[in-house]
């Protein structure tokens, strides 16, 4: 292995010769050998967009030459294209402001930018701090990258995934709109509804979660850039933050603004807490939908069995022919992870001390993991389960005809007490509801047929 010597204010350090990073990144690699969780790819990409925008803003202010600006821009574009993915090795468990990740990007862009300048026969040289980090601090760049990464992940990945499953459930609700089934409350038989109505509830959950997520993410469009070290904007022009936000918006195709109060932007991450709360609400709905699906599909002969779902893979290494609701299991595990992430994010965001919160990397990691996992699992659940849901009409009809809760339709005619007695007697004797009703003497068989009609009990006129 060949090495080169890099230097920073601490002194000299050896770096593998083929690595694009410099001294501060190398110190982080050596000083934080903690876990396997790497800085999220989304944050790295957001940092590249940010550095490209800051170079343009500094050039606009006359602080950075055109040659240096273009070199940073070209190098950043290569990072965004994935050319240097292996050169961002840092773990989440590092300095709580994300300083090393900021410097990792500065060092890679400076080194690659200098190669570009040399290829152009330019005598200028980029410095990772003086040029690539000009007008910035890790304290305002990392929260800016957090917000950019979070907004893009939510709007470009999670929301479309929600919409895809929502569209499938809308189709299923219409497909099964006339299929009358027995309802269940408290895990006990209840009055009828249609399978379409039941699925429409799932669809509306996703619809409402999507609206809440869309609303909440708007608060993350405010960026901390321009606040520099403590929020005062020292070493940055007052127009720098708004200019960077404008360049980022133009590059990624969605609007961002400079935060109104940079003192808040550096020390508080309530926007991410709020948005992740909406993401957690989606996870709660996903948990309910997935659980309903696996309960309704339970069986095939000893469960509820009112719907069938696709058989995607063998379900047991010992029981031949067994098929399990694996997509529901995956989605509910993801929901559990998201709920745990929410606790971490909330606690971490509460730990801002004076002018800085130093739990930024763990907030970003958990937020983006939640969005990524929910995106992937919702798409998987849709493609491998929801689209294949079918009604098991024989089982549904048998459950409806045998249900004692149809007795509810008798309440207006004979009263609650007499109706309850009929249901209890039918259950005790193992007879049908109709037999018990006629035997009670409170109504005739014809009256029972006239009053107890499941199709009139589902709220459809």
Q: Which regions of 205-318 does DSSP assign to beta strands (E)?
A: 222-223, 257-258, 307-308
Contact 98, 361 (CB under 8 A): yes
Mean pLDDT for the stretch of residues 156-171 = 98
Average pLDDT of the chain, as a whole number: 97
Q: What pLDDT does residue 460 have?
A: 73
Q: What is the pLDDT of residues 56-103, one digit of tens each?
A: 999 999 999 999 999 999 999 999 999 999 999 999 999 999 999 999
Q: Is the dihedral of CA 366, 367, 373, 378 positive or negative?
A: positive
Q: What pLDDT does residue 118 have?
A: 98
CA distance 22 to 305: 61
Give the pLDDT band (50/70/90) at residue 436.
very high
Q: What pLDDT does residue 234 have?
A: 98
Phi, psi of 389 (to 5 degrees): -65, 130
- For the chain, the straight-line distance linking the first and the last C-alpha, in angstroms and rounded, comes to 78
Q: What pLDDT does residue 360 have?
A: 98
Cβ neighbours for 443, distance < 8 A, ≥ 6 positions apart: 410, 413, 414, 437, 451
C-alpha dist (Å) from residue 324 to 300, 311, 321 = 10, 8, 10
> Which residues are the active-site residues?
186, 316
Q: Is the peptide bond before 300 cis (omega within 30 degrees of 0)?
A: yes
Local structure of 187: helix, strand or coil: coil
Q: What is the pLDDT of residues 317-366, one digit of tens each?
A: 999 999 999 999 999 999 999 999 999 999 999 999 999 999 999 999 99
Q: What is the pLDDT of residues 225-256, one digit of tens each?
A: 999 999 999 999 999 999 999 999 999 999 99
CA distance 303 to 44: 48
CA 324 to chain centre: 25
Q: What pLDDT does residue 52 have?
A: 98
Cβ neighbours for 425, distance < 8 A, ≥ 6 positions apart: 431, 436, 439, 440
Among left, alpha and beta (phi > 0; psi -120 to 50; other), residue 257 is beta
Q: Has this prediction a pTM greater than 0.85?
A: yes
Q: Write out the two tokens for 207.
A: 């619809």
Q: What pLDDT does residue 297 have?
A: 98
Contact 190, 184 (CB under 8 A): yes
Q: What is the pLDDT of residues 389-431, one digit of tens each?
A: 999 999 999 999 999 999 999 999 999 999 999 999 999 999 9
Q: Is the pLDDT of residue 461 over 90?
A: no
Local structure of 14: helix, strand or coil: strand
Q: What is the pLDDT of residues 194-215, one digit of tens each?
A: 999 999 999 999 999 999 999 9
Q: Write out the two tokens for 390.
A: 């079918």
Mean pLDDT for the stretch of residues 372-379 = 98
Q: Strand pairing partners for 373?
A: none
CA distance 181 to 3: 71
What is the full DSSP assignment across 298-328? --SSSS--SEE----S---SSSTT----HHH
Q: What is the pLDDT of residues 287-325, one digit of tens each?
A: 999 999 999 999 999 999 999 999 999 999 999 999 999
Give the percent of the chain with pLDDT over 90.
99
Q: Strand pairing partners for 192?
A: 182
């Amino acid at each position: 292995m060949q090495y080169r010597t890099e230097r920073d204010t601490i002194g000299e350090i050896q770096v593998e010769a083929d690595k694009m990073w410099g001294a501060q990144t190398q110190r982080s690699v050596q000083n934080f050998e903690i876990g396997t969780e790497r800085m999220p790819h989304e944050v790295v990409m957001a940092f590249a967009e940010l550095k490209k925008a800051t170079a343009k803003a500094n050039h606009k202010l006359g602080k950075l030459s055109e040659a240096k600006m273009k070199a940073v821009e070209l190098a950043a574009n290569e990072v965004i294209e994935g050319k240097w993915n292996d050169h961002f090795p840092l773990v989440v468990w590092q300095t709580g402001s994300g300083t090393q990740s900021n410097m990792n990007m500065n060092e890679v862009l400076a080194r690659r930018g200098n190669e570009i300048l040399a290829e152009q026969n330019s005598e200028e040289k980029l410095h990772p701090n003086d040029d690539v980090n000009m007008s910035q601090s890790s304290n305002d760049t990392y929260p800016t990258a957090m917000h950019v990464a979070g907004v893009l992940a939510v709007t470009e990945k999670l929301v479309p995934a929600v919409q895809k499953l929502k569209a499938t459930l809308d189709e299923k609700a219409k497909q099964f709109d006339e299929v009358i089934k027995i309802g269940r409350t408290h895990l006990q038989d209840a009055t009828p509804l249609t399978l379409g109505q039941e699925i429409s509830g799932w669809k509306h959950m996703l619809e409402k979660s999507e609206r809440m997520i869309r609303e909440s993410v708007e608060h993350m469009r405010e960026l901390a850039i321009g606040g520099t070290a403590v929020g005062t904007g020292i070493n940055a022009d007052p127009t720098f933050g708004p200019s960077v936000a404008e360049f980022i918006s133009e590059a990624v195709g969605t609007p961002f603004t400079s935060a109104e109060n940079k003192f808040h932007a550096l020390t508080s991450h309530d926007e991410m807490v709020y948005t992740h709360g909406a993401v957690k609400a989606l996870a709660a709905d996903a948990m309910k939908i997935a659980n309903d699906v696996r309960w309704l599909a339970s069986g095939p002969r000893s469960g509820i069995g009112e719907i069938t779902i696709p058989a995607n893979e063998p379900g047991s290494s010992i029981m031949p022919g067994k098929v399990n609701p694996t997509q529901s299991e995956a989605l509910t595990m993801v929901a559990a992870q998201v709920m745990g992430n929410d606790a971490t994010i909330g606690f971490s965001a509460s730990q801002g001390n004076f002018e800085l919160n130093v739990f930024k990397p763990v907030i970003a990691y958990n937020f983006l993991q939640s969005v990524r996992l929910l995106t992937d699992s919702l798409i998987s659940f849709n493609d491998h389960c929801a689209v294949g849901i079918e009604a098991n009409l024989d089982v549904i009809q048998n459950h409806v005809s045998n249900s004692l809760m149809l007795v509810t339709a008798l309440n207006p005619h004979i009263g609650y007490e007499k109706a309850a007695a009929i249901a209890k007697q039918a259950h005790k004797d193992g007879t049908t509801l109709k037999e018990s009703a006629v035997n009670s003497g409170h109504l005739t068989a014809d009256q029972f047929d006239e009053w107890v009609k499941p199709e009139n009990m589902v709220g459809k006129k």
